Chain A
Amino acid sequence: MARFFGVFLLLVACGAAAQEKLAIGIVTSLSGPMAAPGKFQMNGFRLAEEEINSAGGFSVGGKKYLVELKVYDTRANPAEGASAMQRLATVDKVPVVLGELHSGVAAAEAPVAQDYSIPLVLTIPTGPNLTEQGNRFLFRVNANNDQLTQALAEFIAGQAWTPLAFIAWNNDAGRGGVNGMKKLLGEARIGYVGYFNVGEVDFSSHVSNIRAGNARAVMLLMDEEPGSLAIKQIRDAGLKTQLVGTLAMGSDRFLKRLDAQRLEGMVQYNAFPPNAKVPGIRVFSERYRKKYGEEAHGFAAQSYDGLKLTVAALQKAGKIDGRALRDALAAIEYDGVIGHIKFDAKGQAHPPVYVTQWCSDGKRRILYPETLKADCGAG
């Protein structure tokens, strides 16, 4: 029986293989300093690809296609990004490119996309000025730094967390976050700011300065790997300070790196609370866990939505053409895992930003936005 079923699957697969494939460009970091978050990005894209293809593909203008991802490594290097973009546009002749992690690299890719009139759909870079360059072919699914900090600042404004100290990556994400918070909360509420380079793991000098400055809260602007180290070092040093984190820190995987006791009370903004009682999130989280054996990551969710909504826009466009797809993307309204996505005139989407908090039992509650407030276990 099992063998029969296997043969059957094989036949189905062969039938599917005969279908025409549509190459979609992906730019990401497979190597270099951003390789780890790049992996989450690729997980999201691969999951979406698999789902689309196992459902028989999609049809554009009456013709059925399967998705084929054409993946290039840009290594957090602007010149490599521009080259990859050029190659995707002119050699692979893809109608659209998705991905990227680094704002500086995205800024080199975006003008090339414009040159060849193919949309570039960003799913992770947060530099706010990317979508301020008047590039009609640039779209961003994820919330940018200003949007993320806006949500968190609104939440923090109501708390007595002054001075607010920082430990932040000295890169586009970390610096953008600190500058955004300074702007929104006012310099007066900001305490010690400790920057560190990507790849540094010893935060002891920052921890000492945070203790000496009597910070009421510490915001950690970084990914989950340094984040877990920073929290370990802060708590091990005996600091009871309120912790504030990023979207990388509201997950079970993060909990596994630490423990409930060290995390209790910490709040973080989140593009995607994996356990929220939102149907899309539930389904995605389960599928992700099935495929990768771990809890879904916000970067994966954003990238998954990016590919899904791009395919939806291709169907709407009715033909395989960059300009038509651009117009379809500009008009599309899509309900994704990370929420309702609609691009504004600058190509920036406005997905909801959540603030979640760790409970004492290692679960999370949703504190913000008010309308989605939910207790432990839902975040």
Chain B
Amino acid sequence: MLSAVLEQTLNGLMAGSVYVLVALGMVLIYGVMHVLNFAHGVLLMVGAYVCHFFFVRLTGSYPLSILLSAAVLALLGIALERAVFRPLQGNLRNQVIASLGLILVFENLVIALWGPNALQMKVAATAALVPLGEMRFSVQHLLVIAVTLAVVLVLFSFLKFSKFGTAIRATSQDRMAAMVVGIPVERVDWITFGLGTALAALGGALIGPLFIVFPQMGDAPMVKGLAGILLGGMGSVPGAVIGGFIIGIAESVSTVFLPTDYRDSVAFIVMVLILLVWPRGIFGVSVRGED
């Protein structure tokens, strides 16, 4: 029993790393702009398709395709910020609605352009298996974890130590005061949004080869990632990491003891229970405008 739980914990860490990767971009955008972008999951999916396009049709180089996909999605994100989210600033409800509309647009656009069938993205270099006790994991999966951790570190130090990161944090804490001290908050907004969607593309490009590339690939990770950032504490990068892993582990370990058709429910019950203890999430701080 104990070994089963340990094994499932490891599975949960692996699954959780995907949720964390999805959650990071959302956390960044939420932290700065207080926009809960439900379309983040479909942007991840679009990123995977764009990466697949560059990789299979054009370049044949996986790292180059990841970069190109991130660049394309960053531009898309900047355009979306300009056209949709900036005009709706301060209206939490309508931002959520607009992002739901964007889900319809992108998911069906991809189906219209690529068809509903899944695409395979085989990256030979990362297909090898690494044994870990009785289990084996692919290099791609370890890559996901490595990149996730790297992104967390880079993001954390960028926000903490760089000048622009300080501007982002200042804007996130008090938009008015940031404006007063001369921080170009509009530029902070669009750069943050571009960065956030580029992270979505990175997620899609890394998860694609792990499984398959298909129109709904972002949906479940988005909902789980959302649960993760909520219980971790909205807008907190370490919170998103811990939250994503908790959801992943709760799901996996529950399959040892409980009927598997209630696996989702277990993850959400864990989220609600944690929130009942820490109403703002584990790393949550009281955020302006939240009360």
Which residues of A does B touch, CB under 8 Å?
A: 30-31, 33, 35-36, 38-39, 170, 175, 193-202, 204-206, 208-209, 211-212, 225, 229, 236-238, 257
Q: Is the pair A208, B7 in contact by a Cβ cutoff of 8 Å?
A: yes
Contact of A200 among B117, B129, B136, B220 (CB under 8 A): B220
A35-B214 Cα distance, complex, nearest whole Å: 11
Nearest-neighbour CB distance to chain B for A89, whole angstroms, equals 27
- Shortest beta-carbon contacts, A-B, top 7: A35-B116, A201-B211, A195-B261, A205-B252, A204-B11, A199-B216, A36-B116
What's the nearest-Cβ distance from chain A to residue B6, in Å? 10
Say how far B270's CB is from chain A's closest CB, in angstroms. 15
Question: Nearest Cβ distance between residue B119 and chain A, in whole angstroms?
Answer: 10
**Chain B 252-291: CB-based contact to A (< 8 A → 1; otherwise 0):** 1001100111011000000000000000000000000000
Cβ of A257 to closest chain B Cβ, rounded Å: 7
Task: Tell me whether chain B's interface is mostly helix, strand or loop, or mixed.
Answer: helix
* Cα distance A36–B217 in the bound complex, in angstroms: 13
Q: Which residues of B contact A33 (CB under 8 A)?
A: 216
Shortest distance in angstroms between A39's beta carbon and chain B's nearest beta carbon? 6
Q: Complex formed: what's the CA distance from A236 to B8 in Å?
A: 17
CB distance from B169 to the nearest CB of A (A): 34
Given contacts A199-B219, A205-B255, 20 further A-B contacts (CB under 8 A): A30-B116, A36-B116, A39-B117, A194-B255, A195-B259, A197-B220, A197-B264, A201-B217, A202-B14, A202-B211, A204-B11, A205-B8, A205-B11, A205-B251, A206-B255, A208-B11, A225-B117, A225-B214, A229-B211, A238-B134
Whether the pair A36, B118 counts as a contact (CB closer than 8 A) is: yes
Number of contacting residues on B, CB 8 A? 38
Interchain CB contact under 8 A, B215 and A35: yes
> Which residues of B lie under 8 Å from residue A201 when comparing CB positions?
211-212, 217
Binding site for A on B (CB under 8 A): 4, 7-8, 11-12, 14-15, 18, 107-108, 111, 115-118, 120, 129, 134-136, 138, 211-212, 214-217, 219-220, 251-252, 255-256, 259-261, 263-264
Q: Which residue of B lies closest to A212 (CB)?
A: B4
Tell me whether A236 and B14 are in contact (CB under 8 A): no
The answer to whether B220 and A194 have CB atoms under 8 Å apart is no
Q: Assess the B136–A39 pair: CB atoms within 8 A.
A: no
- The 25 listed contacts between A and B (C-beta, < 8 Å) are A31-B111, A31-B116, A35-B116, A170-B261, A193-B259, A194-B255, A194-B260, A195-B263, A199-B214, A199-B219, A200-B220, A202-B18, A204-B14, A205-B11, A205-B15, A205-B251, A205-B252, A209-B8, A209-B255, A212-B7, A225-B118, A225-B214, A229-B212, A236-B138, A238-B136
- Bound Cα distance A215, B225 (Å): 32
Question: Which B-chain residue is minimally distant from A175 (CB atoms)?
Answer: B261
Q: Residue on A with the closest CB to B127?
A: A236
Q: Which residue of A lies closest to B252 (CB)?
A: A205
CA distance A227 to B30 in the complex (A): 36
Q: Which residues of B contact A195 (CB under 8 A)?
A: 259-261, 263
Q: With the chains together, A211 CA to B259 CA distance in Å?
A: 17
Is the Cβ of B214 less than 8 Å from the Cβ of A205? no
Q: How far is the CB of A304 from chain B (nearest CB, A)?
A: 19
Most buried by B among A36, A38, A201: A201
